[in-house]
Structure 1
Amino acid sequence: MRYMVWVPLVVNVIVAVCAPALARRLPYRVKPAALTTGAVLAAAGWVSSLTLLAASFADRVPALAHRLGATVRAPQAELPPSLAGATAVLAVGAAAGMLLTAAARIGRDLIRAERLVRRLPPGRVHVLPQRRPDACAVGGVTGGRVVITAGMLDCLDSAEREAVLAHEHAHLTGGHHWLRMVVACCAAVDPLLRHLPGLVESACERWADEHAARATGQRRVLAQALGKVSLATLRETQGHRPGDAGVSRSTPTTCGFDHSGVTERMVALLDGSASATRVPATVLLATSALTAIMIGSAVHASTDYLALLR
């Protein structure tokens, strides 16, 4: 246990550092799900290691061990350093608090989204009378709705409107709000994963772009719509007036026609780069090895610790 308990933490660091490079090499079809799965595994490894380190600290504090009902009588050489255990106790407490806070916030947002979905009129598209060009897909528990502003409709022609609506419907089809909620919880638990929500959001946008382009058969039209909306949003922001805000997309339950990475997304749409659908063999082997190492080391360390309990 003394050494194996550290392996999931090391793998977690590797996942956090290599996630941006991994996101660039994964095909769009599997990128959102793959990044979300990686975040879950990394966060699970982080929590398991910290929990074992914190539990090992009980042997060095008899009063704490008695309260927990656990008695560990292992040689000191078989346990991690006491400083690491004490630090892990604080880290586990902080992670639990952050997870509860994030879960409460996400649960509140999900309830609001579900109420909005139920309150909107029949049909999956609702138009808001706002000038700022914006559109988003609001995902609830039982379904979702597409919300678009009048400003967005005014700056696009009919074909571009169809492409944007197809993009938003793709977010609902892919269940992207669920992925964003899961990754948000993982990032709350593991501070090394704070950049994962942004990567998953970008991956979801690319997935929705390709899904919409395939549904409408007009990749160039969607690229044009993306460029026009970005320019219109910039102009509207510069001349922004109080009370003329667009659709709020600050919660994990809402996926919008995001303007991040506009250049890369337009290039991908125009050059048809979505043809690559297979995961590179090196990426598949590396991720499989890291997953096996993390799970195996966590199980090994847990087994060793349970063997020390009497």
Structure 2
Amino acid sequence: MKGVIGITMGDPAGIGPEIILKALMTDELTGTNCVVIGSVDVLKRVQQEQLVPAQQIHVISSVSEARFESGIVNVIDVPLEDMSTFESGKVQAQSGDLAYRCVTIATRLAQQGEIAAIATAPLNKEALHLAGHFYPGHTELLAHLTDTKDYAMVLYTDKLRVIHVTTHIALLDFLKNLNQTRVNTVIKIADTFMKKAGFAQPKIAVAGVNPHAGENGLFGQEEIQVLNPCIEAMQQEGIDVCGPCPPDTVFLQAFQGQFDIVVAMYHDQGHIPLKLMGFYDGVNITAGLPFFRTSADHGTAFDIAWTGKANPESMIKSIELAVKLSNV
């Protein structure tokens, strides 16, 4: 089923069920080849509480049974352990377990070639851990399920794309563990990913670690000792990469089209400019997996979950990008 996108529900107590249904009823996505992997009972309750306009829930046991028609939502049912004790907007172990099972099923379908890509709604790390699944998030879980050793987080918009050397670690730990092997790996992942995404010869910029990219050692040695050797080595392998670039200007340069993707050193260095310039249309991608995985670039938003207030724009963009990437 080339071009079919699997959409995982994420944590059912969050905004995932609402934004999925809202996204699939938009003009951009209605009738698109999508299959939702999640709880049918949860989706029906979202409809019953009139959080979204009514759509026909078409329960299927395999992708081949899907009907890709306007107004129909194809769902592979992943039931909650106990719907009677389910509470929206709250951390629950059974919600974390459902999110985990949705991802494992979607991964299996992707590896079997039944779906071309996965778009994930947000999960809650605390609920995931309460359920006994000790992963920092989707990225690490998917890497484990696919036995992927080299992977990286990409934040993607039409005008700015960022890939991260590190993400969910303390800043002090990042500085202690920064090394040439990881930087080389991320540059290679960026080059391969961008080529798969349709960029024939992607232009890659590497952001510096320190202010002004170290100013030739005045503000730190990381650029001289780690980044310069990496960039030179990757250039020798034919990758169009430059830097280290001053972090306070390189993201604007990329936004204006000078670079196709920026290698950010740590979580906030990449996330802040991306979310400033594309908070609602930013998409989270796990690069390096054997299939494309996109995600809404926000959390479960328990504070507004099940109120009808959730904005589906990032979910729409993540599904659209999954469709686009899987058909490159």
TM-score interval for Structure 1 and Structure 2 normalised by the shorter chain: under 0.3
Structure showing greater Rg? 1
Structure with greater proportional strand content: 2
Relative to the length of structure 1, the TM-score reads 0.22
Higher relative contact order (CA 8 A, sep 6+): 1
Structure with greater proportional helix content: 1
